Amino acid sequence: MNKKIKFAAILTRTHKWIGLLVGLQLVMWTVGGFVMAVFPIETVRSEAQIAKVKALPADLSINISAEKAAELSGLDELLGIQLENFAGEPAWRLQAKEKTALLSASSGQSLLPLDKDTARKIIIMDYVGKGKIIALERVEKGPVEVRYRGPLWRAEFSEPKNYTVWADINEGRIIAHRSSVWRLFDFFWMLHIMDYGDRDDFNHPLLIFFAFSASVFTLTGIGLLIHRFLLRPRPRRKKNPQ
């Protein structure tokens, strides 16, 4: 058998079987890429619904210094401390290796864990949409849209439909705004990176294997095109009798 023909047969067989293996995933990558390109990232992140952070007045007077807050927190090996606007009042946020403390800069009182009334207040302050809270509940472990974090306060708003805001009880902060668009985007992101659990890992073996296989599929397809148009012997035309 001609070496060129034999090589083309190997390319064809390889291309066919790899196509059967990765074809569906290639469709999902293509559709996922299309969906992610259609929606602006600002829309996915619900930036139009999130309030801008309000800075504290420059002439603000506080009763508790940073040093005193560090002492009252009882945390060892602090990684950072900052003054922030918490529910309209100044508060010290202190971060240790595995724990957060939040203290009132006026009284030194701990503001954690986050109670329901305070959660409602900071959630409303972080939302600038037209809707109202129609449900506020404590969730010990959140769903995939918050990557299974917990415990959390979950607030559902009347507008947009199925719009939720999540607040971390032990950190005293808003961690996520989630909309139907975000969930659709996240679903196709999951299909795109093939991480069907936490949807955060795009270096796992399954994705690497399919990406490699798709590369081989593409290269064998290019090889077949080259063979078809450049290397394959063309049949000779018969001369018309005079």
Looking up residue 102, the CATH number of its domain turns out to be 3.10.450
Q: Are 62 and 83 found together in one domain?
A: yes
Q: In this structure, are 107 and 121 located in the same domain?
A: no
Cα–chain-centroid distance for residue 31?
18
Pick the last residue of a domain from 112, 143, 163. Answer: 112
* Alpha carbons 167 and 155: distance in angstroms, whole number: 8
Q: Over range 169-174, report the average pLDDT.
A: 96
Distance, CA of 134 to CA of 61 (rounded, Å) = 37
Q: Does residue 239 belong to any structural domain of this protein? A: no
Same domain, 70 and 87: yes
Cα separation of 102 and 125, whole Å?
18
DSSP string across 28-64: HHHHHHHHHHHS-HHHHTTGGGBPPPPPPPTT---SS
Residue 100 has pLDDT above 70, yes or no: yes
pLDDT, mean over the chain: 85
Q: Show Cβ contacts of residue 188 under 8 Å, excluding neighbours closer than 6 positions.
A: 28, 31, 32, 35, 36
Question: Residue 2: is its pLDDT beyond 60?
Answer: no
Domain contains 21: yes
Of the candidates 62, 86, 112, which is a domain's last residue?
Answer: 112
| Residue 73: domain span | 49-112
**Does 203 reside within a domain?**
yes
223 belongs to a structural domain: yes
Residue 59 has pLDDT above 80, yes or no: no
| Distance separating the N- and C-terminal Cα atoms of the chain | 36
**Residues 218 and 198 grouped into a single domain:** yes
Structurally, the chain folds into a number of domains equal to: 3
Look at residues 66, 71, 99, 75 and name the one whose alpha carbon lies nearest to residue 172. Answer: 99
Q: 75-85, pLDDT tens digit by residue?
A: 988 999 999 99
- For residue 237, being part of any structural domain is answered with no
Q: Strand pairing of 152-157 and 163-168?
A: antiparallel
236 found inside a domain:
no
- CA proximity to 166, closest of 190, 195, 139: 139
**Could you report the per-residue pLDDT of 220-239, keeping only the tens digit for each?**
777 767 766 665 555 555 55
Are 126 and 166 within one domain?
yes
Q: Is residue 238 part of a domain?
A: no
Q: Of the residues 95, 112, 129, which one is the last residue of a structural domain?
A: 112
Do both 63 and 32 map to the same domain? no
Instruction: Assign 148 a pLDDT band (cuts: 50, 70, 90).
Output: very high
Q: Is residue 28 part of a domain?
A: yes
Handedness of CA 3, 8, 13, 15 (dihedral sign): positive
Q: Crossing angle, helix 205-226 and helix 3-38, to 10 degrees?
A: 130
